[in-house]
């Protein structure tokens, strides 16, 4: 969130939402240093941009409720508290309405900002398609269901980058194989069918498939298995209409884990196929 001058007479909230918060904050010369409840910057996880909550509300309870809701949606480590408490006018049920407006749907917006200035609601940022551009403000108006509130729609449609499209389609799922082999399971083939659609949506970019295993067993065998599984995925893609010249395949064995190999859950996460768009 980036506090805007002129909001002090009424309760106001500005929430910089979704993906590219840092760039928005840096472009705003009035932005104060990000501080958490203890006065120190809140730490975001590596690779995650902060969600900045700023503005002025009428009491500590409203502030606490708003911050709790934002943290519920985005995760506590991403939220930066720049929200002030002062003697400001509050429209009836304002705090409750704000709670409804801070919804998971905001995560479809990148480089975004939600501003609630008294009874004026403004949403801006980038969305992936025209349906999202129209739907989000309509849902906000329906959540409020109060004719005294005005929703201003400044969303714009910006096509997602190919890597973002593929990441969203895979959605942290695991492409499954038969135990100890490179034979795809039915579930694995279903996910790949969806990835083929995503690749075409992204303009069929050049992609490198990277196979990974957990650390169990012989390292040389794991390396060979990871390569065989990446090759198996490539074969499936090519057999289902993807140009072979657009797909590479490489196995890394257990070299790059993303979770601990000391637990069954961690090992399952490490057994994966990644889709990397090649520049």
pLDDT mean over 234-256: 96
DSSP 101-169: HS-GGGGG-EEEEEEEETTEEEEEEEESSHHHHHHHHHHHHHHH--TT-EEEEEEEE-PPPHHHHHHHH
Please say whether the beta carbons of 165 and 202 come within 8 A.
Answer: yes
Same fold, 12-157 and 162-277: no
Give domain limits for the chain. Answer: 12-157, 162-277
Length in residues, the chain: 279
Token look-up 């050049």 returns 206
Q: Taking the complete model, does pTM exceed 0.95, yes or no?
A: no
Extract the tokens encoding 89. Answer: 């006018």
pLDDT mean over 181-188: 96
Extract the tokens encoding 18. Answer: 């979704």
**Contact partners, residue 138, CB within 8 Å, separation at least 6:** none
Architecture (CATH level 2) of domain 162-277: 2-Layer Sandwich (3.30)
pLDDT, residue 227, reads 98
Residue 25's pLDDT band, with cuts at 50, 70 and 90, is very low
In the predicted structure, residue 139 carries a pLDDT above the cut 60 = yes
Residue 16's pLDDT band, with cuts at 50, 70 and 90, is low
In the predicted structure, residue 264 carries a pLDDT above the cut 80 = yes
Architecture (CATH level 2) of domain 12-157: 3-Layer(aba) Sandwich (3.40)
Pairing between β-strand 12-17 and β-strand 51-57 as defined by DSSP bridges: antiparallel
């Amino acid at each position: 969130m980036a506090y805007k001058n002129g909001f002090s007479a009424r309760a106001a909230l500005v929430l910089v939402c979704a993906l590219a918060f840092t760039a928005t904050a840096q472009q705003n010369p009035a932005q104060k240093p990000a501080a958490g409840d203890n006065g120190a910057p809140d730490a975001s996880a590596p690779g995650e941009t902060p969600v900045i909550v700023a503005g002025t509300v009428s009491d500590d309870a409203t502030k606490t409720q708003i911050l709790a809701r934002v943290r519920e949606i985005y995760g506590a480590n991403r939220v930066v508290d720049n929200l002030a408490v002062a003697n400001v006018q509050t429209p009836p049920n304002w705090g409750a309405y704000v709670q409804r407006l801070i919804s998971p749907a905001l995560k479809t917006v990148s480089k975004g900002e939600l501003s609630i200035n008294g009874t004026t609601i403004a949403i801006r940022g980038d969305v992936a398609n025209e349906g999202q551009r129209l739907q989000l403000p309509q849902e906000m108006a329906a959540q409020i269901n109060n004719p005294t509130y005005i929703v201003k729609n400044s969303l714009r449609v910006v096509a997602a980058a190919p890597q973002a499209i593929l990441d969203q389609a895979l959605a942290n799922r695991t492409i499954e194989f038969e135990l100890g082999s490179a034979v795809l399971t039915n579930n694995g083939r279903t996910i790949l069918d969806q990835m083929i659609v995503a690749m075409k949506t992204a303009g069929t970019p050049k992609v490198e498939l990277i196979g990974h295993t957990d650390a169990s067993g012989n390292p040389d065998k794991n390396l060979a298995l990871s390569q065989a599984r990446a090759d198996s995925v490539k074969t499936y893609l090519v057999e289902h209409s993807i140009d072979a010249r657009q797909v590479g395949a490489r196995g890394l064995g257990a070299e790059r884990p993303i979770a601990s190999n000391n637990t069954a859950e961690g090992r399952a996460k490490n057994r994966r196929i990644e889709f990397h768009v090649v520049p």
